Structures are given as structure tokens and as C-alpha cells.
Amino acid sequence: MRIAVCIKQVPETKSVKMDPETRTVIRQGVQSIINPLDLYAVEAALELKERYGAQVTAVSMGPPQAVSALKEAVAMGIDEAVLVSDRAFAGSDTWATSHILAGALKKLGAFDLILCGERATDGDTGQVGPETAAALDLPVITYVNHIHELRDGILKVSRLVEGGTEKLSMRLPGVLTVVKEIGEPRLPTFRGKLKAKGLEIPTFTLETLQLDKNRIGLKGSPTRVVKIFQPEIVRSCEMLPAETEEQTVKAVDSMLAFLEDKAV
């Protein structure tokens, strides 16, 4: 079986700062890490590899420094990794990103299963998994919290839905986006770190993928970030008299009415 894991490098959440002038995320000098939710996709791939045998490939689209996220995945046990990077890809929205990722996955040959995280902690749309599946014309199951079994090319999984779980079967090839409950990510091993250190990670560029320039970057992005702002938090305090039982009941009543009004 061939499994691909899509991983994104994101800024370390604690070190994210906004530029007050441009209101955009300051990426220069900010420590980058593997998207924490993608570690669960890596873990799911490695568990499947242990259970059924598989060759696992990690794919990341991003700037050259995204290689460190790929190396971290290799140190955890991923077999090989590919960076997808080109200036022409800059400015891509989720639609264009998915088109580029799909191009890279096609270039790597047929995969039985493609695993993605639930969402990236910076862009936070959760769109890239399903959109990549659409670009590859593959079925997708989102929010997968358990992989039950793989038998005769059919994968049985559970996915989280509001108030419970849903059991689904999918004939492979297909795409899953996984949630934290899928399994605690393992730590990189010493042997894995050594392998990652010496590994040459190939880069797929626009030339490698031969994609239509109208489908990538800003030109190929049908969505636009119209405004980025930090919501203003207004805090006010009102003292409610509660010296007698009657006043206490009234105070609780008005507090509940306030919360209901704010739909908390």
C-alpha cells in the first residue's frame, strides 16, 4: 500500500505577532513548526504501515524552510518526503494550494490513501484535504477519529459528528482528514533523526509539475483576503446589589437574561 501524508509548516502559535500597519502575520524571524494537527495524520499513516505494511510519503508545499517539517516527519518514521516549492506558488489560496498538492501527488504516482490533518493552525480553513480529494477526483472522509480495518481494498473508519460518531466504509483510493482522537503522535526516534539528517529531500517546482499558470498563485486563487483584523474586546463591569435574598435572585435573573441575550 502507498500512503501520502500532507503536512504544512506553520508559525509557532506562541510566537505569532501581527504587523499593526499591514495587519498581516509577521513571518520573518518567527519559529516555524510542523502543523500540530498534522502529527496525528503522520501517526495514523505509521499505524497503518505497522498493521498492513506501507510505503509512506510526506508532501509539503511551502518555502524552502518547510524541509524541516518534512524531516521531523521522517524522524517519526515516514519513509520519504517531497517539498513542493516555487515562487510561482506564492499567494495561492486553498483552492490553488490543493490544485498544486494534487499535481505533486499525481506526479509521485498512484497512492492508495492520502491523509491530511483536520486543519492548519494558521490558515484554519480545513479546506485543503477535501479540495485536494476533489482535485484528484477521489472520495474523502473528514474528521476521522478511528480507523477500524482495511480489508479487500475497503477501509472502515469512524468520524466525529455533532453528538456522536458515524461509521463509514470507503473503497480505496481515497482521502481522510483525521482528528486528534486518532492516536497520540509518537516521538521521533534517534534512528529516525539520523535518517532525516542525511536525507536529501527533492523539491518539485512549477517546472516539475507543469501546471497551468492560471491555476496557481494569486492568479489561480478565486478567493481574496478582504480584511484581517483583531476584534476589539470591550470589558465592562456592572455591580448588582445582592444584600437580601430577593436582590440575589433578581441579580441572578438579570445575569441569566444578559447571557441569553449574548447567546452564551
Ligand X SMILES: Cc1cc2nc3c(=O)[nH]c(=O)nc-3n(C[C@H](O)[C@H](O)[C@H](O)COP(=O)(O)OP(=O)(O)OC[C@H]3O[C@@H](n4cnc5c(N)ncnc54)[C@H](O)[C@@H]3O)c2cc1C
Cα dist. 156→145, 150, 151 in Å?
11, 6, 8
Please name which of 102, 80, 113, 144 lies closest in space to residue 3, comparing C-alpha atoms. Answer: 113
Residues near ligand X (CB under 6 A): 6-8, 35, 37-38, 41, 59-62, 90-94, 97, 101, 116-117, 119-120, 122-129, 221, 223-225
Instruction: State in angstroms the smallest separation of the CB of 48 from ligand X.
Output: 16
Nearer CB in complex with ligand X: 158/221? 221
- In the complex with ligand X, the residue whose CB is nearer, 62 or 77, is 62
Task: Report the residue number, 117 or 174, with the smaller CB distance to ligand X.
Answer: 117
Cα gap 132→21, rounded to integer Å:
34
What are the φ/ψ torsions at residue 38 (nearest 5 degrees)? Answer: -80, -20
Closest CA to 146 of 108, 102, 113, 179: 179
Name the grid cell of 235: 470589558
State the minimum distance, in angstroms, from the CB of residue 138 to ligand X.
14
Question: What type of residue is 147?
Answer: I
**Residue among 123 and 251 whose Cβ is closer to ligand X:** 123
The closest alpha carbon to 9, from 115, 108, 150, 121, belongs to: 121
The cell for 204 is 518539485
Return the number of the residue (77 or 117) whose C-beta is nearest ligand X. Answer: 117
Question: Please, what is the minimum distance in Å from the beta carbon of residue 252 to ligand X?
Answer: 41
**Would you say 225 or 263 has its CB closer to ligand X?**
225
The least distance separating ligand X from the CB of residue 97, rounded to whole angstroms, comes to 3
Torsion of CA 111, 57, 81, 200, to 10 degrees: -100
Nearer to ligand X, 38 or 86 (CB): 38
Measuring CA to CA, how many Å separate 6 from each of 158, 212, 258? 20, 22, 45
Beta pairing partners, 11? 32
C-beta nearest to ligand X: residue: 123
Q: Is there a contact between 72 and 188 (Cβ–Cβ < 8 Å)?
A: yes
Minimal distance, residue 39 CB to ligand X, in Å: 10
Output Rg (C-alpha) for the chain, integer angstroms.
Answer: 22
